[in-house]
Homo-oligomer: A and B are copies of this chain.
Amino acid sequence: MQIESIGIIGTGVIGSSWAAFYASKGFRVKMWDVDATVGQNGQQQAVDTIKLLQTQGMLSGDTVQESISRIKVAGALEQAVENVQLVQESVAENYEIKQQVFKALDAHTDPAAILASSSSGLLMTPIQQVTNHPGRCLIAHPFNPPHLIPLVELVPGDETDEQAISKMKIFYEGLGKVPVVLKKAVPGHLANRLAMALWREAVDLVANGIASVEDVDKAVSAGPGLRWAVMGPHMIYHLGGGPGGMDHFIDHFAPAVKVWWESLASWTSLPPEAKNLLVGGLKEEMGERTMADMNRMRDEKLVKMLKILFED
């Protein structure tokens, strides 16, 4: 069943970004939120995002008006998912709420439609259990904002059909996304786990008075962050090993690396003093710049980088 119409359930930051993305790629999109005001705001947000995509030269072969015209707001969940081949659920991160939504989705969709949850932390197994067709339920977690960042993490629950995962992998690839597949579910999927391993150390370096918030941020963005935008950590070290690759890298650097690992932060709750240090340090790092300045700078640079990295 080819995907042509998509239901977006939950129209906050993530849902509205998905709506803009799908509409800009030619899909008919029906949005619904349990809170009608959020639904209206979500549509407006999606429209604004489509206009932004055009400004940034990321809307191709189509007019803004055509993209916008594909987005509808539904009056009820049933209407939003009627005759759709994919539902992208982006409601609150809460098992009870997601279970309620998936039960309704299961009842009101064609059983062949895929039900994908944008959840960044919850597991699919307890959610799909409330449905009669659990095989088509999976996690498809985007990295914020979904209309720009290519990563989509596909995570099965215990009852998810392999076919549903492979179908969605092909679907996202076709849209220029970079889907990755988890063989088993773990808290935080891949990207947030990796990011939180790094951030723990970043917090620790500030909390221990080793460097300022700004210098820790620079140590990432002017150093390893540059390389990580081009290729992942395994490949970086494979090349770092020279002709011998990862094999040589491990043999050669293992003793030094062991010393570093032994001294890395391993706490699992944020140290109490960290919050004030971070908030104060960020104020310094911001200087005269506003949040809006920083957000605009980030997105402008991201768009330029995406063109370099993904359009060659």
Answer whether residue A226 sits at the interface, using C-beta atoms and an 8 A cutoff: yes
Q: Are A221 and B226 in contact (CB under 8 A)?
A: no
Could you mark each residue 89-108 of chain A with 1 if its beta carbon is under 8 Å from any beta carbon of chain B, else 0?
A: 00001000000000000000
- Are A193 and B201 in contact, CB atoms less than 8 angstroms apart? yes
Instruction: Give the Cβ gap from A58 to chain B, nearest Cβ, in Å.
Output: 14
Which residues on the B side are within 8 Å of A36 (C-beta)? none
Q: Which of A27-35, A70-78, A263-271 contacts B (4 or more CB under 8 A)?
A: A263-271
Task: Indicate which residue in B187, B209, B231, B282 contacts A221 across the interface (CB closer than 8 Å).
Answer: B231
**Residues of B close to A190: CB separation below 8 A:** 205, 210-211, 215-216, 219
Cβ of B232 and Cβ of A220 under 8 Å apart?
Answer: yes
Which of chain B's residues have a CB closer than 8 A to the CB of A298? 227, 230-231, 239
Q: Does A245 contact B (CB under 8 A)?
A: yes
- Chain B residues near A286 (CB-CB < 8 A): 238
Q: How far is the CB of A73 from chain B (nearest CB, A)?
A: 24
- Within 8 Å by CB of A186, from B151, B210, B226, lies B210
User: Contact between B193 and A264 (Cβ–Cβ < 8 Å)?
Assistant: yes
How many copies of this chain does the complex contain? 2
Q: Does A112 contact B (CB under 8 A)?
A: no
Residues in B whose Cβ lies below 8 Å from that of A182: 210-211, 215
Cα distance A295–B267 in the bound complex, in angstroms: 36
* Chain B residue with Cβ nearest A217: B232
CB-CB under 8 A for A196 and B231, given A211-B180, A301-B308: no
A153, A202, A220: most-surrounded residue (chain B CB, <10 A): A220
Per-residue B-contact encoding for A184-198, CB less than 8 Å = 1, 0 else: 101111111111111
* Bound form: Cα–Cα A200–B223 in Å: 18
Chain B residues with Cβ below 8 Å from A306 are 226
Residue from B143, B219, B229, B275 in contact with A194 in the complex, judged by beta carbons closer than 8 Å: B219
Pick out which of these stretches binds chain B: A124-132, A157-165, A251-259.
A251-259
- A205–B193 touching, CB < 8 Å: yes
Q: In the assembled complex, which residues on chain B have CB atoms less than 8 Å from the CB atom of A297?
A: 230
Chain B residues positioned under 8 Å from A209 (CB to CB)? 183-184
Q: Which residues of B contact A308 (CB under 8 A)?
A: 301, 304-305, 308
Do A232 and B221 touch across chains, with their CB atoms under 8 A apart?
yes
A111 an interface residue at 8 Å Cβ cutoff?
A: no
Residues of B within 8 A of A201 (CB): 193-194, 197
**Can you offer 5 A-B residue contacts whose CB atoms are under 8 A?**
A143-B223, A180-B211, A180-B218, A194-B216, A230-B302
